[in-house]
Amino acid sequence: MPVKTYLVTGGAGFIGSNYINYMLKKYGESIRIINLDKLTYAGNLENLKEVETNKNYTFVKGDICDKGLVTKLFRENDIDRVVHFAAESHVDRSIRNPETFVVTNVLGTMVLLNAAKDAWVQADGTFAEGKKFLHVSTDEVYGSLGETGYFYETTPYDPHSPYSASKASSDLLVKSYMDTYGFPANITNCSNNYGPFQFPEKLIPLMIYNALSGKELPVYGDGLNIRDWLYVEDHVKGIDMVQEKGRLFQTYNIGGHNEKTNIEIVHIILDTLQKFLGDGDERKAKINNGLIRFVQDRKGHDRRYAIAPDKIRAEVGWYPETNFEEGIRKTIRWYLDNEEWKDHVLNGEYQKYYDEMYSQK
């Protein structure tokens, strides 16, 4: 069988790096991955040390908004699949600087769509067989739920932050290319991910690192906002399965069926750290509920998200394999066993590592 070439955008980020590590383990030499990443603050090549010397893996430092670079990648490589993770994704940052989110998430997606369309379209207007574009999105495009109910693929979009509005816009761009050109694509909308390599601005790694340092644990509002949590490895398995088995032009929701309030998450993290740390570890005595501080709520803070993954289960056969209790233990264990990773992320060491590894390439 010919080797399939994947262009993965944002592959040095949290979900993207988990996806690349998973795919190269699963498919070995039958696939080739080109990772295009700008290496913003949340992109970290330490996440990919396991595969950096793999002959079927190539890293390209660059911006998805760079039309010349993206076009060149398609021209020089027979790309079969695009898996588009690259995005600005932190709601708080979008409130402070919405323009960056629109540029990356909307304009960057359009650059990728145009490059893929031009590379894959045939003389008769149809697209070459086997080519697929998968756009990775979020449940936040649907807005906020009440105490009951779920987001379905048919739920109207109702974004409430600049971040979710930019992702909704990019989703609609992809949909328009499917409808207008017959462009071979899928959209996936996932619930909150957690697991290894997540940048510590997001709730779970932030709480882990702050607790280990004896720092305050800031919780928005009353802490009762509810999220549906999805272990990252389950998510990347779902993305792979949609690429292989999903019907073209379809949207698939990928959810974990693990609803928790934010304050529940914080208490679970504190309890689990207490169990994992030995009695001789001086950090253990500092980890207690007294670290929790309720702070002013985030602007436009959605109350509840919950995804119904019925369609992806029925059509693709995917289901979340990791319950939250197992997933959070694995996640906390990973952060405890890889504390040096935080240092690489937060003190600039990973940039030195990048310069050493790639400055001559």
The b-or-e profile of 201-220 (16+ CB within 10 A means b, else e) is: ebbbbbbbebbbeeeebbbb
| Cα 164 to the center of its chain, rounded Å | 14
CA distance 142 to 150: 10
C-alpha closest to that of 145 among 255, 68, 61, 71: 255
* Amino acid present at 54: N
Active-site annotation holder among 139, 234, 240, 302: 139
Spell out where 140-238 has E strands. Answer: 185-190, 192-194, 217-220, 226-231
Can 139 be counted among the known catalytic residues?
Answer: yes
Active-site annotation holder among 140, 228, 240, 302: 140
CA distance 159 to 136: 16
* Amino acid present at 14: F
* Amino acid present at 179: D
The pair of three-digit structure tokens given for residue 131, joined into one six-digit string: 């080519």
Can 358 be counted among the known catalytic residues?
Answer: no
Angle at 47 between CA 45 and CA 52, to 5 degrees: 60
Q: Contact, 231 vs 284, CB < 8 A?
A: no
Angle at 232 between CA 21 and CA 106, to 5 degrees: 90
Residue length, the chain? 361
The pair of three-digit structure tokens given for residue 268, joined into one six-digit string: 């679970």
Residues in CB range of 258: below 8 A, 6 or more apart: 228, 229, 230, 320, 323, 324, 327
Q: How far is CA 129 from CA 71, 79, 126, 179, 183, in A?
A: 20, 12, 9, 18, 11
Which residues are paired to 252 by β-bridges?
Answer: 188
Active-site annotation holder among 142, 150, 163, 194: 163
Q: What are phi and psi of 186, to 5 degrees?
A: -135, 155
Q: What are phi and psi of 313, to 5 degrees?
A: -70, -45
Catalytic amino acids? 139-140, 163
